[in-house]
């Protein structure tokens, strides 16, 4: 079995200087060095502070100054600048901070549960523009949510002009019976379908059994490339 990847194996940004952003807004501009510049891409990212805190990028986010790893990062105002200078903060891109914490925190609460199909409510929403899907121009989408959960996770299905759809029948009350029939694994994006077991945390984040065994149980971040 491959070695466990920890947060120490991610690229790190060592902060040399912190100053107020020249924009005049409530933001900080950080400059310093990235220890593995070849594993870093410019753009939106997070930098991890000690504890369960992060700095969130702002306006272009991380920028590489040279090939040796000199970099800059602009963020909404966080801790006092003197608390950041000298810090070495892990860099994360494409994933969200909770994906790291849910795997590395030994006290993160997980329950093995059976996914059960539930009714889903539907709503027609404007796509705010035209999307070309399978040769058809899509302007509207059907938003579905688990019945009783008007906020939070939603899924969207295109309304094709031809009338074809991947949705099961919608009842006259805009409800799809058993329409919420799977959970998405946070780590591999696979489906845990109704009738299968998966693991769910207190924030209703699901992982499939394979990802739980491979990553969560081992506290292994190797899903982060």
Q: Which domains does the chain have, with CATH numbers?
A: 7-94 (2.40.30), 113-216 (no CATH)
3-class secondary-structure state, position 62: strand
Residue reference for tokens 């900080």: 28
Say how far apart CA 207 and CA 187 lie, in whole Å.
7
pLDDT number for residue 152? 74
pLDDT number for residue 51? 74
Say how far apart CA 30 and CA 134 lie, in whole Å.
44
Say how far apart CA 193 and CA 190 lie, in whole Å.
9
Mean pLDDT on 213-220:
97
Tens digits of residue pLDDT in 83-128:
788 889 999 999 999 999 999 999 999 999 999 998 999 999 998 8
Whether the predicted pLDDT of 24 surpasses 70: no
DSSP designation for 57: B
Whether the predicted pLDDT of 150 surpasses 80: no
DSSP designation for 223: T
pTM recorded for the entire structure: 0.82
Label the pairing between strands 27-34 and 182-184. Answer: unpaired
DSSP designation for 2: P
> What Rg, from alpha-carbon coordinates, does the chain have?
22
């Amino acid at each position: 079995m491959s070695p466990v990847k920890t947060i120490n194996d991610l690229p790190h940004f060592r902060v040399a200087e912190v100053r107020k952003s020249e924009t005049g807004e409530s933001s900080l501009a950080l400059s310093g060095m990235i220890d593995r510049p070849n594993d870093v891409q410019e753009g939106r990212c997070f930098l991890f502070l000690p504890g369960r805190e992060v700095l969130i990028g702002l306006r272009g986010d991380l920028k590489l100054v040279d090939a040796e790893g000199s970099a800059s990062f602009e963020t909404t105002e966080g801790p006092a600048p003197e608390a950041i200078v000298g810090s070495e903060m892990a860099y994360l891109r494409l994933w969200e901070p909770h994906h790291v914490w849910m795997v590395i925190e030994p006290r993160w609460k997980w329950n093995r549960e059976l996914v059960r199909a539930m009714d889903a409510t539907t709503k027609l929403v404007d796509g705010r523009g035209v999307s070309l899907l399978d040769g058809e121009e899509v302007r509207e989408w059907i938003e579905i949510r688990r019945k009783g959960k008007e906020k939070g996770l939603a899924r969207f299905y295109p309304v094709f002009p031809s009338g074809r759809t991947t949705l099961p029948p919608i009842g006259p009350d805009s409800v799809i019976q058993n329409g919420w029939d799977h959970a998405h694994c946070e780590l591999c994006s696979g489906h845990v379908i109704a009738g299968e077991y998966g693991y769910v945390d207190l924030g209703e984040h699901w992982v499939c059994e394979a990802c739980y065994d491979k990553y969560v149980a081992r506290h292994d971040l190797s899903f982060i490339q």
